[in-house]
Amino acid sequence: MKYIYLDNAATTQVAPEVLEAMTPFFTEFYGNPSSIYSFAGESKKAVEDARTKIAGYIGAKPEEIYFTGGGSESDNWALKATAEAYANKGKHIITSTIEHHAILHTCEYLEKHGFEVTYVNVDENGIVKLDELEAAIRPDTILISIMAANNEIGSIQPIAEIGKIAKEHNIFFHTDAVQAFAHIPLHVDEMHIDMLSASGHKINGPKGIGFMYIRKGIKSGSFIHGGAQERRRRAGTHNVPGIVGMAKAAELAVNAMEDRMEYERKLRDHLISRVLEEIPYSRLNGHRTNRLPNNANFCFRFIEGESMLILLDQKGICASSGSACTSGSLDPSHVLLAIGLPHEIAHGSLRLTLSEQTTMEEIDYTVDELKKIIERLRSMSPLYEDFVKKQNQNTK
């Protein structure tokens, strides 16, 4: 069976060029980059080349890039290690209500350990309210952590403005850029970013590899204790194939960025127009244009998200109702609640995230099937039946 894969915010397919770049580091150059003999030099060189490449894509220096086990680890590191290193300066952190759970759950952990966290609200489009953010700053605020782009509704945050506010107040600024890195332009100096998290598997690279940018001069203790790898800050034998693969994926994505954004936007806008025009009682979540080029997120009234996903799956369509981490639980998405949707509407959400492999035919097939599925589910819904009855009475 052929799948239509519209869940690229959850993970992506490894590009053939990425796999090709990685393979020799499993089979041929398997040396440990920390070893002395020249055979290991190939691995070491590959790791350092990857570091230089990745640094270049965000305007950083190679020695400011630290390889990690993925986006979640980078997020944990940014918050926990900064909190620990600067606890004597203050114990207050600012973040937003729509962050990924890698940030939110780490904040909860820190709250249990003596830190205070302010969760800044977003507007109805899922954009962080800058006036609220600035008002939340206190003399003991040490860190602001706001994501670059949201993984559920795709809203792109005003990162440069947030960076400026943080800098003016002499507070560190971390951004979870897992959905943004190599998807949209980022520059750590122009945007006053002090720390940045990214991940390989969201950019057609391998899973289980990520990186963290830490601006030179920022104190950050060892996050993983052990060997002296990564300037003694993150111990553990380098995941050489992963690092090589992530750098290759970043190279491909950055070089193709303009064209890909244009292509995905065209598909996304067609998808959004068709859904809103052809499916009654549907709404788009997030800003119409200020969103990731590959992201569409809808709510359908009188529909339960999980049933929609199961029926889409039967048609070979891979979609999600929020983030992969929240599906499986019955709680509505915290992001949809944060943009002001009531529980019963937030329950009927659908996220479709495209890739450059997605075709217009796949989009049209998906909308055609979705229309039928929603009609079918509504025809079985007593709530919908009541609603239609009331509508009819009102128009009489």
The alpha carbon dihedral of 119, 11, 75, 217 has a sign of negative
Q: Is 179 in the site for ligand PLP (CB under 6 A)?
A: yes
For ligand PLP, the closer of residues 151 and 285 by Cβ is 151
Question: Is 325 known to be catalytic?
Answer: yes
Q: How far is the CB of 11 from ligand PLP (least distance, A)?
A: 7
Q: Is 351 in the site for ligand PLP (CB under 6 A)?
A: no
The structure tokens listed for 392 are 């009819």
Q: Provide φ and ψ at 123, rounded to 5°.
A: -80, -175
Q: Is 202 in the site for ligand PLP (CB under 6 A)?
A: yes
Q: Is 122 in the site for ligand PLP (CB under 6 A)?
A: no
- Contact residue for ligand PLP among 102, 296, 350, 374 (CB under 6 A): 102
- Contact residue for ligand PLP among 18, 60, 147, 346 (CB under 6 A): 147
> In terms of Cα–Cα distance, which of 321, 324, 318, 323 is closest to 358?
318
Q: Is 71 in the site for ligand PLP (CB under 6 A)?
A: yes
Q: From residue 37, give the alpha-carbon distance in Å to each of 41, 99, 100.
A: 7, 44, 42
Q: With the CA atoms of 334, 338, 342 and 343 taken in that order, what torsion angle do they form, in degrees rounded to the nearest 10?
A: 10
Q: How far is the CB of 360 from ligand PLP (least distance, A)?
A: 26
Q: Is 8 in the site for ligand PLP (CB under 6 A)?
A: no
- Contact residue for ligand PLP among 6, 21, 93, 178 (CB under 6 A): 178
- Contact residue for ligand PLP among 163, 210, 241, 348 (CB under 6 A): 210
Q: Which amino acid, residue 73? A: E
Q: How far is the CB of 376 from ligand PLP (least distance, A)?
A: 31
- Contact residue for ligand PLP among 8, 12, 43, 72 (CB under 6 A): 72
Q: Is 291 in the site for ligand PLP (CB under 6 A)?
A: no
Distance separating alpha carbons of residues 52 and 93, to the nearest angstrom = 31
Distance separating alpha carbons of residues 283 and 272, to the nearest angstrom = 9
- Contact residue for ligand PLP among 18, 22, 70, 141 (CB under 6 A): 70
Please name the residue that has the structure tokens 């391998």: 206
Could you give the angle at the alpha carbon of 291 between the alpha carbons of 307 and 127, nearest 5°? 95
Distance separating alpha carbons of residues 137 and 300, to the nearest angstrom = 38
Q: Is 204 in the site for ligand PLP (CB under 6 A)?
A: no
For ligand PLP, the closer of residues 177 and 240 by Cβ is 177
DSSP character at residue 208: S
Distance separating alpha carbons of residues 331 and 160, to the nearest angstrom = 33
Q: Is 143 in the site for ligand PLP (CB under 6 A)?
A: no
Distance separating alpha carbons of residues 295 and 363, to the nearest angstrom = 13
The structure tokens listed for 161 are 């403005």
- Contact residue for ligand PLP among 151, 157, 285, 295 (CB under 6 A): 151
Q: 226: left (phi > 0), else alpha (psi -120 to 50), else beta?
A: left
Q: How far is the CB of 238 from ligand PLP (least distance, A)?
A: 17
Distance separating alpha carbons of residues 115 and 117, to the nearest angstrom = 7
Q: How far is the CB of 201 from ligand PLP (least distance, A)?
A: 6
Cβ 81 vs Cβ 223: under 8 Å: yes
Q: How far is the CB of 303 from ligand PLP (least distance, A)?
A: 24
Q: Is 137 in the site for ligand PLP (CB under 6 A)?
A: no
- Contact residue for ligand PLP among 51, 53, 80, 100 (CB under 6 A): 100
Q: Is 157 in the site for ligand PLP (CB under 6 A)?
A: no
Q: Provide φ and ψ at 4, rounded to 5°.
A: -105, 110
Name the one range near ligand PLP by CB under 6 A: 105-113, 175-183, 298-306, 362-370.
175-183
For ligand PLP, the closer of residues 182 and 279 by Cβ is 182
User: Residues binding ligand PLP: what is the number (CB under 6 A)?
Assistant: 15
The structure tokens listed for 3 are 């799948």
Residues in the chain: 396
Q: State the catalytic residues.
A: 325
The binding site for ligand PLP (CB under 6 A) comprises 70-72, 75, 100, 102, 147, 151, 176, 178-179, 199, 201-202, 210
